[in-house]
């Protein structure tokens, strides 16, 4: 039986952010400061997202499983510290770029930033994979799916609305159609109407076109099936 994966949707969103930023870096001609500025905006956005994600895990998720395997949890908390250090290093490299006085110096700094972000990407992909294997195992061994969902709701309750909206945009870009249908149906059934309306609008602007209509039709069909004629 498939168990509830507390990491699934947010990790898909974070992976999508990493991939998108990495592609932008590959395409950036760093001698052009305008192109570099666009790349730096994406880099800083994804670093901020990972720092916030790590904070939510450290403050809510880790305490509920730390008692079961302290050494494992300590290793994840250390990786969160390492992640912040790597993010700060990339910020330092951006400052070096901004201080460059020639196109050649900017190209050299841009190359260093691209490599550093590649290391950051690999580190976080491996970190998230570890979480989905090791932390899920601890959660599944000691909590029911309903209890894990309640933990997730506590995490969501502590996220600022603007941060949640940005995360929802990337989730909508990253998840598959069944995940989107189930998510929208659950929100429609349990959340205030404005929350559902916001998410449904995101299907128009963020969801892949190849299955957008199928998701919208499935969610609206649920609404129609409840009407009495």
Q: Report the predicted TM-score, pTM, of the whole model to 2 decimal places.
A: 0.93
Q: What is the pLDDT of residue 1?
A: 82
Residues 19 and 120: beta-carbon distance below 8 Å = no
Residues 199 and 187: beta-carbon distance below 8 Å = yes
Q: What is the pLDDT of residues 73-97, one digit of tens each?
A: 999 999 999 999 999 999 999 999 9
Q: What is the pLDDT of residue 223?
A: 57
Calculate mean pLDDT across residues 55-78.
Answer: 94
Q: What is the pLDDT of residue 225?
A: 46
Taking alpha carbons only, the member of 215, 206, 151 closest to residue 16 is 206
Domains and CATH numbers, the chain: 8-160 (1.20.120.520), 176-229 (no CATH)
Q: What is the pLDDT of residues 193-229, one digit of tens each?
A: 999 999 999 999 999 999 999 999 999 986 544 443 3
Q: What is the pLDDT of residues 153-202, one digit of tens each?
A: 999 998 989 999 999 999 999 999 999 999 999 999 988 999 999 999 99
Q: What is the pLDDT of residues 14-57, one digit of tens each?
A: 999 999 999 999 999 999 999 999 999 999 999 999 999 999 99
Q: What is the pLDDT of residues 131-151, one digit of tens each?
A: 999 999 999 999 999 999 999
Task: Go through 45-62 and write b for each residue having 16 or more CB atoms within 10 A of its CB, e for each that does not.
Answer: ebbebbeebbebbeebbb
């Amino acid at each position: 039986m498939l168990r509830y994966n507390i990491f699934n949707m947010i990790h898909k969103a974070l992976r999508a952010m990493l991939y998108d930023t990495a592609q932008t870096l590959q395409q950036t001609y760093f001698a052009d400061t305008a192109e570099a500025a666009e790349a730096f905006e994406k880099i800083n956005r994804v670093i901020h997202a990972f720092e916030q994600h790590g904070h939510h895990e450290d403050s809510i998720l880790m305490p509920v499983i730390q008692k079961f395997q302290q050494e494992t949890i300590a290793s994840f908390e250390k990786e969160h510290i390492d992640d912040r250090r790597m993010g700060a290093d990339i910020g330092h490299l951006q400052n070096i770029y901004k201080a460059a006085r020639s196109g050649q110096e900017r190209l050299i700094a841009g190359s260093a930033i691209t490599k550093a972000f590649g290391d950051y990407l690999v580190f976080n992909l491996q970190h998230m994979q570890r979480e989905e294997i090791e932390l899920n195992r601890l959660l599944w061994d000691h909590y029911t799916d309903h209890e894990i969902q309640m933990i997730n709701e506590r995490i969501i309750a502590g996220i600022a609305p603007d941060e949640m909206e940005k995360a929802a945009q990337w989730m909508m870009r990253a998840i598959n159609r069944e995940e989107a249908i189930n998510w929208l149906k659950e929100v429609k059934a349990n959340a205030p109407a404005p929350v559902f309306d916001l998410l449904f609008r995101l299907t128009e602007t963020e969801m892949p076109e190849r299955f957008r209509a199928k998701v919208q039709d499935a969610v609206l069909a649920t609404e129609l099936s409840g009407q009495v004629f």
